[in-house]
Chains A and B, each alone.
Chain A
Amino acid sequence: MRNCFWVAWATVHELVFERFFHLLVFFSVASLGMSALLGSLTYTEQAKLTLDFMLGTTHLSLVLFALFIGISLFHREFSVGSVYLVLSKPVSRASFLAGKFLGQAFVQAVVVFAMTALALLIRLQFDVPLYFGPIAQAGLLIFLESLVVAAITYFFAVNAGAVLTAVSTLALFGLCHFREPVTRELAGSSVTAWSLLRPLIPDLEVLNLKNLASYGVSLNGTEFFYVFVYALSTMAFFLILGLISFQHKDIGNS
């Protein structure tokens, strides 16, 4: 556990100095600014549209962050070879992977907190209700979804190269969001492959509270608890799959 903490510590420091991270932060801030600008273009519902754009931007930024930072963190360790210095110490592979994940999760939490806080601050400029609860809920679920995406990324990164990881994660992410529409579309037809596949694909749309938040609607305590547990279990499922694969992987295979 202590080693896990130290790997997480190093990961946070590494990310703070990561050029790609700076680029993503710049993209996020620019997107938030753009959201405020786009909201001002409409005559009515300016506050709602601004909030819509801001939550959408936060969601997109966090998903991109989870995906690309996850790939970069994991694959660079191997391509550069710094993984050998860590794993030659009495550090288990599980501690290493979990530490990387926790470090990334911490930075993602900071980013989502900052972006949600900024969205709330901008909303304060309008003469409308703040919707603190719904916006905080939406922000928290965006964070949890980004953790699920990071866990999926780690699972693929353990088993494949950077490009294949990105493609596979994005494909699964898409399927996770369009699971129910696809099921509705295929209802009545005898597509057995989909019916077999469907239970294995998590439904990430349940974590999407962006639209509700922009109307000031939030989930009640029980609903939120179920969604929270669902997100955490999905994340744990992919992370554990990744850990199992990593345990059996040959490192430095030539």
Chain B
Amino acid sequence: MTESVSLIDVTKLYRLSLLRRKIGVEGLSLSAESGQILGVLGPNGSGKSTTFKLLLGFLRPTSGNILVRGEPLSTATRRHIGYLPENPRFPGFIFADQALKYYGHLHGLSGAVLDKKCAELLELVGLKHAAHERVRGFSKGMGQRLAIAQSLLNDPSLLIFDEPMSGLDPVGRIEVRDLIRKVHERFPQATILLSTHILSDAENLCSHIALLRKGKLVRHGAMTEVLKSPAQNFQVVIRGVSAEARPKWEKEWGAIDGPMGLQLRVHGVKDLERCLHLAQDEGDEVVDVSSEKVSLERALFQETAEVTP
């Protein structure tokens, strides 16, 4: 895996007046490797959009370095980036295929290559039927899909999707979510950075997450790690427990009946060892041991609660 994008100790301060500054992001160090879908999460004002705008060169960092494919940010590095802004808007006069051609020309594409690319992308996003329709007549979902298509024109190695599901109805959300999956399948080497407020979408789509709060990185890691119970709780299922022994299991590990046997909730590795030894000593059959997962919402709630002063 190669590092596709990295921010190194990046700080962005917004100037509010001559003396007053507001923190956009502070000391942010973050990287993503090719093939990852990194969900950038956090409440409003946490610095998600600032991070994306820094990556695209819309904002200049107050300090720190930003590298895309190992190169410092420049107009040329944007050749490798595809961007879907929050609430994308196209010039109203333009037809869908014209819009793609226009943005394709800005990427330096032309002729038959561009025509082929536009047709492919319109098909990919399910807008082939609307190729010759004016964009101003598009629904929000169609506009979003066209915006995703324009972000793929240059076969990007870094895709930045800023709130791609925002403002969409449930059906539109599912369509865009599926489309992002399709994009990931089509461009498996591309790194996708995605910000969203909808945590279930992030949980479904992202391989990694970065949690920002007040411009600082609170947590960054693989989704599987984040979703692990912080206290390392386990679920153990045992079978063959005698009626006399049952109250002990109930008292110690809150045992309840489940479809496969008696379900226990065990806190921590030492407790797990004790539990398994006891089951072995009593001749009970251990059917299943699994690490307990928490929802992303709960995990992030814990994270933000921990850093709240």
Contact = CB atoms under 8 A, between A and B. Distances in A.
B40 to A, nearest CB: 15
B102 A10 contact: yes
Interface stretch (B73-81, B171-179, B218-226, B269-277): B73-81
A172 to B, nearest CB: 25
B294 interface: no
B89 A82 contact: yes
Nearest to B87: A81
Interface stretch (A26-34, A86-94, A117-125, A178-186): A86-94
Given A90-B106, A90-B108, A91-B106, A254 B93 contact: no
A253 B60 CA distance: 10
A6 interface: yes
A81 B88 contact: yes
B195 interface: no
B95 to A, nearest CB: 11
Contact of A250 (B58, B76, B150): B58
Contact of A254 (B50, B79, B154): B50
A16 B85 CA distance: 26
Given A91-B75, A253-B14, A253-B59, A86 B93 contact: no
Interface in B41-80: 49-50, 53, 56-60, 75-76, 78-79
Interface in A1-24: 2-3, 6-7, 9-10, 13-14, 16-17
Interface string A59-95: 0000000000000000000001110111111111000
A88 to B, nearest CB: 4
A254 B81 contact: no
Give chain A's interface residue range (CB within 8 Å of chain B).
20 to 34
Contact of A81 (B89, B94, B102): B89
B88 A88 contact: no
Interface in B101-157: 102-103, 105-108, 147, 150, 154
Nearest to A91: B106
B137 to A, nearest CB: 13
B75 A85 contact: no
A17 B93 contact: yes
A251 interface: yes
A88 B93 contact: no
Nearest to B88: A85
Contacts of B49: 252, 254
B103 A90 contact: no
A50 B93 CA distance: 37
A88 B162 CA distance: 13
Contact of A92 (B75, B94, B102): B75
Contact of B94 (A6, A13, A80, A89): A13
Nearest to B150: A85
Nearest to A250: B59
Contacts of A90: 75-76, 78-79, 106-108
A84 B91 contact: no
B92 interface: yes
Contact of A85 (B14, B24, B90): B90
A88 B83 CA distance: 6
B47 to A, nearest CB: 10
Contacts of A250: 14, 58-60
A16 B94 CA distance: 11
A45 to B, nearest CB: 45
B93 A251 contact: no
A58 B90 CA distance: 33
A87 B90 contact: no
B94 A85 contact: no
A85 B160 CA distance: 12
Nearest to A248: B60
Contacts of B14: 250, 253-254
Interface string B213-254: 000000000000000000000000000000000000000000
Contacts of A7: 106
A251 B106 contact: no
Contact of A10 (B75, B89, B91): B91
17 contacts: A3-B106, A9-B102, A13-B93, A82-B90, A84-B83, A85-B147, A88-B56, A88-B78, A88-B85, A90-B78, A91-B106, A92-B75, A250-B59, A251-B58, A254-B14, A254-B49, A254-B50
Interface of B: 14, 24, 49-50, 53, 56-60, 75-76, 78-79, 81-83, 85, 87-94, 102-103, 105-108, 147, 150, 154, 160
Given A85-B150, A87-B56, A89-B154, 7 more contacts: A3-B106, A14-B91, A81-B85, A82-B91, A250-B58, A250-B59, A254-B50
